[in-house]
Amino acid sequence: MLDVCLLGTGGMMPLPYRWLSALMLRYNGSNILMDCGEGTQVTMKMLGWSMKAIDVICLTHYHGDHVGGLPGLLLTIGNADRKESITIIGPKGLERVVNGLRVIAPELPYKLNLIEIQDVFQSFQFGNYKIETFKLDHSVLCYGYNVVIDRKGKFLVEKAQALGLPTHYWGRLQNGETITYQEKNITPDMILGPERKGLKVTYCTDTRPVKRIVEYAKGADLFVCEGTYGEDEDKEKAYQKKHMTFSESATLAKEAQVKTLWLTHFSPSLVKPKECLHNATHIFKNTVVGKERMKKVLKFDD
Amino acid sequence: MLDVCLLGTGGMMPLPYRWLSALMLRYNGSNILMDCGEGTQVTMKMLGWSMKAIDVICLTHYHGDHVGGLPGLLLTIGNADRKESITIIGPKGLERVVNGLRVIAPELPYKLNLIEIQDVFQSFQFGNYKIETFKLDHSVLCYGYNVVIDRKGKFLVEKAQALGLPTHYWGRLQNGETITYQEKNITPDMILGPERKGLKVTYCTDTRPVKRIVEYAKGADLFVCEGTYGEDEDKEKAYQKKHMTFSESATLAKEAQVKTLWLTHFSPSLVKPKECLHNATHIFKNTVVGKERMKKVLKFDD
């Protein structure tokens, strides 16, 4: 079960009724945060999911509205007495940015493990989930992220029995271990069925609509994507500012054949984004206009 | 007329119902901000006073809860297209802190004029108001601030007439200019009555109660002071963390003979500060427990 919550939906600046774009995920006791603009810790507090359990923070880029809340969040997690290190992933310049901001958070009771993205696409394994990152097209270096939960094949009891394997080996094989039994190596694939569909959440902001997004968001259960402007007539503005309109995001969702699209990162000028929903749904039906602390529980298919 | 508004009342971390301590003042078209924790721009937006008109930002110290909102505010003021420079006053290290935080706000359409405080007491004149700063006693270098509006004496028509001064000189003398008339130097004091009581607002956080506060808050019309802990039984905690209890703040207010005390900078553990008000009022009657966007208009006596 993967819990997802959209912490905020705003671009550019926080507003009294709108927090800055950030996404929180929760899987198996480990929390993941995507972006951390000014005030993210407040909407997170409203949500009630543990800040102390944040193991990974993924930064898309270093514009203030996506990272300004980082030092405050790190301090608050420190006040909650976390001791385990936190990993921060971000574009080149990560060390410079984090060290700059840490001028007001110099002492933390835990370590930061900084990973600067080096390639157009990279994948990182964290325990039982994977974080993938891929380059977007914004005015500064910017990356999208996938959180991927792979799912092994079914454990085939009849195969295990046919090999004469005692039951105390079963769990180890299920967990991916290769074991030696009666001088023979038994690998997991020998007793597991074909890999099953896992879960995938894609987070994409800020960017122009590029083909790479379709490629990496392919088949996502949830596609959280920027829709800075609601109306098609803002296409020129979106082009110039390296953002997207609702219809551009919906087109990506359609091409990537995702299950659900959540729109976020609304321009402060877009006061009532819901009124523009039809600009997306006529292209991709299963579109939802993001709202603060909107949640979704993703479950495996069967 | 000096308008004062308490933007937030929280210490340590912003909470869903409580913004971090900051004070905004407005005099004659010029706005002054004291402290700028994470989210200050949001509560300021709720208040509705112009961010673009902020000419001076006074920072008490560099703990995250007093300065984390600075880069976001500077960006938002930039987006409002301010061109005039902004002055930031703060303890030693100001340049290091502002430059660190500006890693996410590198480009602004206006200049920053940084003034590092050098002495235990300093005074700065800005047009028709004065900002005074004095050293407090916190776990890091920290300063309190006064905003002072001096008020000249009354213009004495009979004296001007006795000197035979034509009326077109009157305004210049009232504005402090010395003029030459019939080969004689006429100074303002020759036609003005004795200086009258002006206005003074004192902002004091974070600190232990030290004598210097009584000295510099003397006679303030409004004394905005930290009261991190409400109960006397927290005195030991206050002592260790270099903060104050309500009764300690009230004692300062009494000794400084201020008109009104506003308590602020409440610990997150102090959920209902109003319930502790009596701990202050039995020492200093005119105490008010601070509340988000509480306002006061200060007027000259007559």
For the stretch A216-253, pLDDT in tens is 999 999 999 999 999 999 999 999 999 999 999 999 99
Catalytic residues of A: 65
| pLDDT range class, residue A302, cuts 50, 70, 90 | confident
Chain B residues 213-272 with a CB less than 8 Å from chain A = none
- Do residue B15 and residue A45 have CB atoms under 8 angstroms apart? yes
- Give the chain B residue nearest A74 (alpha carbons): B64
Interface contact A80, partner B, CB < 8 A: no
Q: Kindly state whether residues A175 and A265 are assigned to the same domain.
A: no
Q: Kindly state whether residues A31 and A78 are assigned to the same domain.
A: yes
Task: Assess if residue B130 is contained within a domain.
Answer: yes
> How many independent structural domains does chain B possess?
1
Average pLDDT over residues B231-258: 98
Task: Please state, for a pLDDT cut of 90, what percent of chain B lies above it.
Answer: 94
| B-interface mutation test, from A7, A12, A13, A36, most B Cβ less than 10 A away | A13
Minimal Cα–Cα distance from B39 to chain A, Å?
Answer: 6
Is residue A212 over pLDDT 80?
yes
Distance CA A92, CA A142 (A): 9
| A-interface mutation test, from B45, B104, B241, most A Cβ less than 10 A away | B104
Q: Kindly state whether residues A49 and A80 are assigned to the same domain.
A: yes
pLDDT value for B176: 84
Interface contact A67, partner B, CB < 8 A: yes
- Please state, rounded to an integer, the average pLDDT across all residues of chain A: 96
Q: Kindly state whether residues A81 and A205 are assigned to the same domain.
A: yes
Q: List residues bridging with A86 in a β-sheet.
A: A112
Closest by Cβ to A68, choosing from B14, B46, B104: B104
pLDDT value for B73: 98
pLDDT tens per residue across span B179-193:
999 999 999 999 999
Instruction: Output the six-digit token pair for A120.
Output: 């157009």
Q: Kindly state whether residues A121 and A215 are assigned to the same domain.
A: yes
| pLDDT range class, residue B301, cuts 50, 70, 90 | confident
Domain boundary among A138, A173, A194: A194
Is residue B112 over pLDDT 90?
yes
**Matching residue, tokens 């300063």:** B143
Instruction: Determine how many CB atoms are found less than 10 A away from the CB of residue B252.
Output: 24
Phi, psi of B69 (to 5 degrees): -90, 0
CB B202 within 8 A of CB B133: no
CB A66 within 8 A of CB A41: no
Interface contact A75, partner B, CB < 8 A: yes
Average pLDDT over residues B206-217: 98
pLDDT value for B230: 98
Task: Assess if residue B157 is contained within a domain.
Answer: no
- Please state, rounded to an integer, the average pLDDT across all residues of chain B: 96
In chain B, residues with a C-beta closer than 8 Å to the C-beta of A76 are 13
Q: Kindly state whether residues A14 and A116 are assigned to the same domain.
A: yes
Residue pairs spanning A and B at CB distance below 8 A: 101
Closest by Cβ to B41, choosing from A13, A100, A102: A13
Is residue B175 over pLDDT 90?
no
Q: Kindly state whether residues A187 and A272 are assigned to the same domain.
A: no
- Do residue A72 and residue B96 have CB atoms under 8 angstroms apart? no
Q: Give DSSP secondary structure letters for chain A.
A: -EEEEEEE-B-SS-BTTBPBPEEEEEETTEEEEE---TTHHHHHHHHT--STTEEEEE-----HHHHTTHHHHHHHHHHTT--S-EEEEESTTHHHHHHHHGGG----SS-EEEEE--SSEEEEEETTEEEEEEE--SSS--EEEEEEEEEPPPB-HHHHHHTT--GGGHHHHHTT--EEETTEEE-GGGTB-SPEEEEEEEEE-S----HHHHHHHTT-SEEEEE--B-SGGGHHHHHHHT--BHHHHHHHHHHTT-SEEEEE-B-TT-S-GGGGTHHHHTT-SSEEE--TTEEEEE----
Is residue B302 over pLDDT 80?
no
Is residue B217 over pLDDT 90?
yes
pLDDT tens per residue across span A6-39:
999 999 999 999 999 999 999 999 999 999 999 9
In chain B, residues with a C-beta closer than 8 Å to the C-beta of A96 are 103
Task: Assess if residue B184 is contained within a domain.
Answer: no
Is residue B270 over pLDDT 90?
yes
pLDDT value for A175: 84
Q: Kindly state whether residues A275 and A142 are assigned to the same domain.
A: yes
Interface contact B67, partner A, CB < 8 A: yes
pLDDT value for A52: 97
The residue range of the domain holding B266 is 2-152+195-298
Q: Kindly state whether residues A148 and A158 are assigned to the same domain.
A: no
Which CATH number characterizes residue B268's domain? 3.60.15.10
DSSP 8-state secondary structure symbol assigned to residue B91: S
- Do residue B101 and residue A101 have CB atoms under 8 angstroms apart? yes
In chain A, residues with a C-beta closer than 8 Å to the C-beta of B79 are 12-13
Distance CA B56, CA B78 (A): 15
pLDDT tens per residue across span A111-169:
999 999 999 999 999 999 999 999 999 999 999 999 999 998 999 999 999 999 999 99
Task: Please state, for a pLDDT cut of 70, what percent of chain B lies above it.
Answer: 100
Length, in residues, of chain A? 302
| Parallel/antiparallel/unpaired status of strands A129-135 and B22-27 | unpaired
| B-interface mutation test, from A15, A76, A103, most B Cβ less than 10 A away | A103
In chain B, residues with a C-beta closer than 8 Å to the C-beta of A13 are 41, 72, 75-76, 79
Look up the pTM and report it. Answer: 0.94
Of the residues B65, B206, B221, B234, only one is catalytic, namely B65
Interface contact A42, partner B, CB < 8 A: yes
- Write out the H or E segment, with its range, that includes residue B46: helix B40-47
pLDDT value for A221: 98
Q: Which of B181, B158, B155, B153 is nearest to B169 (CA)?
A: B181
Q: Kindly state whether residues A170 and A136 are assigned to the same domain.
A: no
pLDDT tens per residue across span B62-86:
999 999 999 999 999 999 999 999 9
Task: Assess if residue B43 is contained within a domain.
Answer: yes
Q: Kindly state whether residues A29 and A84 are assigned to the same domain.
A: yes
| Parallel/antiparallel/unpaired status of strands B143-151 and B129-135 | antiparallel
Instruction: Determine how many CB atoms are found less than 10 A away from the CB of residue A125.
Output: 10
pLDDT value for B4: 98
Interface contact B42, partner A, CB < 8 A: yes
| Parallel/antiparallel/unpaired status of strands B179-181 and B2-8 | unpaired
Task: Please state, for a pLDDT cut of 70, what percent of chain A lies above it.
Answer: 100
| Parallel/antiparallel/unpaired status of strands A2-8 and A22-27 | antiparallel
Is residue A71 over pLDDT 80?
yes
Q: Kindly state whether residues A163 and A101 are assigned to the same domain.
A: no
| pLDDT range class, residue B174, cuts 50, 70, 90 | confident
